[in-house]
């Protein structure tokens, strides 16, 4: 098949979607470019028009998923405060929603222990955590927080939300199924944060 015809029929987006599904369901190491091509009904050589190797394909998925999460977090900044929640509470709930509604992506992004895969995730993790931290810091009262707490609070909030997500991913729960628990968790976190800051 001519290169142009392959590029038109087998788009980058189709390859990413199929590869993400296979990495999630079968594991990164069990999947080859050949098996991705077979899944799509093309020869594996067709994939090389878009990606040089499996690692490059995996990294493209990681970048896309972190990009989507970043857009979700940014939407909290630009959207209205709703439901009686503070901006920080909405940020935490959006992060929890992402993790529970996309558990396989979340596991690849934040929970993989594979050193080879971590090498592809770390830089994107760092960018995401910095975005999360900058949003949180932007809505903390500087009069109630020391310079040290302005640095440590965002990470503490992230780790608390991550723990909640990790627990409920094991339970295979969706966000809607645990919404009440998520709201309680987030409100307790933010109330504790405010109480601790007011005692300084």
Instruction: Please enumerate in sequence order all residues whose Cβ is within 8 A of that of 136, keeping only pairs 6 or more positions apart, or say none.
Output: 88, 91, 153, 154, 157
Q: Which ranges in the chain are annotated with CATH 1.10.10?
A: 1-52
CATH says 1-52 is which class? mainly alpha
Cα–Cα nearest to 72, from 128, 151, 119: 128
How far is 174 from 163, CA to CA, in rounded Å? 15
Helix (H) or strand (E) run with residue 184 in it: helix 179-198
- Give the tens place of pLDDT for each residue, 106-117: 988 998 887 878
Torsion over CA: 154, 156, 161, 163 (sign): positive
Both tokens assigned to 141: 């009262």
> What is the average pLDDT across 67-79?
92
Q: What would the CATH number be for the domain defined by 54-198?
A: 1.10.357.10
What would the pLDDT profile of 103-147 be if each residue is shown by its tens digit? Answer: 989 988 998 887 878 888 888 999 999 999 998 888 776 655 566
Instruction: Enumerate the CATH 1.10.357.10 domain ranges in the chain, comma separated.
Output: 54-198
Q: Model-level pTM? A: 0.84
At a CB cut-off of 8 Å and minimum separation 6, what does 6 contact? Answer: 42, 46, 49
Confidence at residue 7, expressed as pLDDT on a 0 to 100 scale:
47
pLDDT digits (tens, 9 = 90+) for 19-43: 988 988 888 889 999 999 999 999 8
- Alpha-helix residue ranges (DSSP H) falling in 3-84: 3-9, 12-26, 33-40, 44-47, 54-78
């Amino acid at each position: 098949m001519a290169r142009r015809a392959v590029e038109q029929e087998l788009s980058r987006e189709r390859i990413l979607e199929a590869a993400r599904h296979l990495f999630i369901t079968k594991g990164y190491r069990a999947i080859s470019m050949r098996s991705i091509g077979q899944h799509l009904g093309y020869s594996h050589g067709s994939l090389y028009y878009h990606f040089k190797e499996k690692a490059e394909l995996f990294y493209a998925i990681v970048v896309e998923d972190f990009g989507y999460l970043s857009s979700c977090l940014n939407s909290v900044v630009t959207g209205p405060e709703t439901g009686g929640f503070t901006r920080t509470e909405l940020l935490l709930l959006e992060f929890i929603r992402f993790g529970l509604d996309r558990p396989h992506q979340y596991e690849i992004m934040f929970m993989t222990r594979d050193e080879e895969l971590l090498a592809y995730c770390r830089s994107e993790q760092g960018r995401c955590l910095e975005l999360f931290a900058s949003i949180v810091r932007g809505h903390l009262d500087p009069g109630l927080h020391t310079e040290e707490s302005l640095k440590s609070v965002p990470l503490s909030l992230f780790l608390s939300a991550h723990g909640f997500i990790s627990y409920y991913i094991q339970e295979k729960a969706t966000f809607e199924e645990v919404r009440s628990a998520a709201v309680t968790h987030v409100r307790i976190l933010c109330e504790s944060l405010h109480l601790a800051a007011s005692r300084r």
